[in-house]
Chain A
Amino acid sequence: MSASGAERPLPLPDADTAPYWEAAARGELALQRCDGCDAWRFPPRPGCPRCGSLASRWERASGRGTVWSFVVVHGPVLPAFAERVPFAVVLVELDEDPRLRVVGNLPGVAPARVRIGMRVEACFETVADGVALPQWRSAE
């Protein structure tokens, strides 16, 4: 982080979340699946909310989804976001399961064009050396 605090906050992976970010750095959207009941889950965590199993695996997801909600952020914001305002943040419901809702942005899409129900697909934004954020683009 720079002394001015102007650098974008980056994820700090832990043992449970690292596979998600490692996949993103490879340009893949990967999600956890329960070994006990096969349910997909997000965010990554040690246990399954449906069956309680602590065993899971990672699988590549389709990367397709629908905008479930969105906001348009105005200031005051962190210095890292100050030059972007107003910008949209979306909550995307993934095709694999309606409980899978992922926060993201739609780089290059004007906030006024974002709407609930919009079909989107995953893309990846490199934000630092070896760090990429799963992001979204219109699939319509």
Chain B
Amino acid sequence: MSRASAAIVGIGHTAFARDLGQPERRTALAAIRAALDDAGLAPSDVDGLVRFDLETTSEVEVARNLGIPNLRFFAETGYGGGGGCAAVGLAAMAIATGRASVVVCWRARHRGSGGRPWAATGGRVGGDAQFSVPYGIVRPVDQIALLARRHMHEYGTTAEHFGAVAVACRKHASRNPHALMREPITLADHRASRFVCEPLRKLDCCLETDGGVAVVVTSRERARDLAQRPALVLAAAQGTGPEHYVMTSYHAPRPLATPSTWAARDLFAAAGVAPGDVDVAQIYDVFTPLVVFSLEEYGFCAAGEGGPFCEGGRIEWPDGALPVNTSGGGLSEAYLHGMNLVAEGVRQLRGASSSQVADAELCLVTSGAGVPTSALLLAAA
């Protein structure tokens, strides 16, 4: 763990709600402000920002509203929810190379009040979507359900396996006062929820959330003098795999091998640790099957065994072998393109989670698996 040169030293978030009743940029600014306060840093200390490509608030808007005097480093990460861990990875690179000293990454999104992006689809559809939208593959859930069904066919994965992911996330959210959905659910509740796109049901889908999350990254040296126990950025990785089509990657040699397969390989190699060393994981959960896929791809079990891995409370706090999404994740805390998963990873390494894994020293955080993706290994200092 000695090779880590950057650390996450601040985390902040707004309330998570269906409708925050304010412009998205106010949510972004509030989240960033909260993360800096948490770190014990001022806007004048910040010299770098990394934004998501889908973020509607620009870097200069953040800077001019918070009083950041100059941005020496600014960048954006692509592919929506695939880019959250990549943002932190970019920040860590900027710090390691001396391009910046304090970098903030954030995501503010008003998807609860702001409407469904796919609902704007209409007329003539170009690009990759011309081969799927005219047939009714329009929503993200449609796109991922095609892969989920095939996984069930090839490996015997069941709807109950997907349900176990939803139940675990809700159990963890029930302990998190900030989570949007806190009423515990059972496998029967999952089975009773309506189909959205068979084989997936409503409780297989993430929340529609208004909210913002930000994290502050600085050097390991500077972290020693700051307010919080740092979470070291042990490794970061990105991946696409071959012949990728965003959200409709059905044309690669093995469509069930999502970009996570490649990110995982580089991530563990860079960190010099094995999946068995991971104490707790925050796995991108826009839909429950992606957690099943990711457990396989990040090496916690063999291909095809991700479903059974989720049975019997194995991914639940406190007794599971690998507690997953300990704040409730995108399924039950908030769906903010995974930045809340990064924040929860940091909390675990501080010993500050509402579902704290005892002596957690190593946390995996992943980003969206149906798109070009990224991942982080965070370590306790």
Residues on A lying within 8 angstroms of B by beta carbon are: 1, 5, 7-14, 17, 42-43, 49, 68-74, 76-78, 80-81, 84, 86-87, 89, 91, 99-105, 111, 116, 127, 133
B352 at interface (Cβ–Cβ under 8 A)? no
Evaluate whether A81 and B138 lie within 8 angstroms (CB atoms) in the complex, with A10-B125, A71-B198 already known: yes
Do B135 and A69 touch across chains, with their CB atoms under 8 A apart?
no
> Least Cβ distance of A5 to chain B in Å?
5
Q: A43-B251, A81-B136, A91-B250 are in contact. Are A1 and B131 (CB under 8 A)?
A: no
- Report which of A13, A69, A86 forms a contact with B146, defined as CB distance below 8 A: A69
Indicate whether A74 sits within 8 Å of B132 (C-beta atoms), given known contacts A69-B150, A103-B137: no
**Are A89 and B146 neighbours in the complex by a CB distance under 8 Å?**
yes
A10 interface neighbour in B123, B131, B146, Cβ under 8 Å: B123
B254 (CB) vs chain A CBs: closest residue: A99
CA distance A11 to B121 in the complex (A): 12
* Contact code string B65-82 (vs A, CB < 8 Å = 1, else 0): 000000000000000000
Tally chain B residues at the interface, Cβ within 8 Å: 43
CA distance A5 to B122 in the complex (A): 7
Q: Is A49 within 8 A of B243, CB to CB?
A: yes
Would you call A101 and B255 a contact (CB within 8 A)?
Answer: yes
Query: Are A105 and B150 in contact (CB-based, < 8 A)?
Result: no
Question: B21 an interface residue at 8 Å Cβ cutoff?
Answer: no
Contact B134 A9 (CB under 8 A): yes
Are B122 and A74 within 8 A (Cβ)? no
B195 touches A72 (CB 8 A): yes
Assess A91 versus B142: contact at CB under 8 Å? Given A1-B123, A9-B121, A12-B124: no
Q: Top 8 nearest A-B pairs by Cβ distance?
A: A12-B126, A12-B124, A72-B198, A11-B130, A69-B150, A1-B123, A71-B145, A74-B195
Residues of chain A with a CB closer than 8 A to B93's CB:
none
B255 to chain A, nearest CB (A): 7
Contact of B124 among A10, A80, A84, A100 (CB under 8 A): A10
User: In the complex, what distance in Å separates the CA atom of A116 from the CA atom of B199?
Assistant: 13
Q: Mark B240-258, 1 if CB is under 8 A from A, else 0.
A: 0011010010111101000
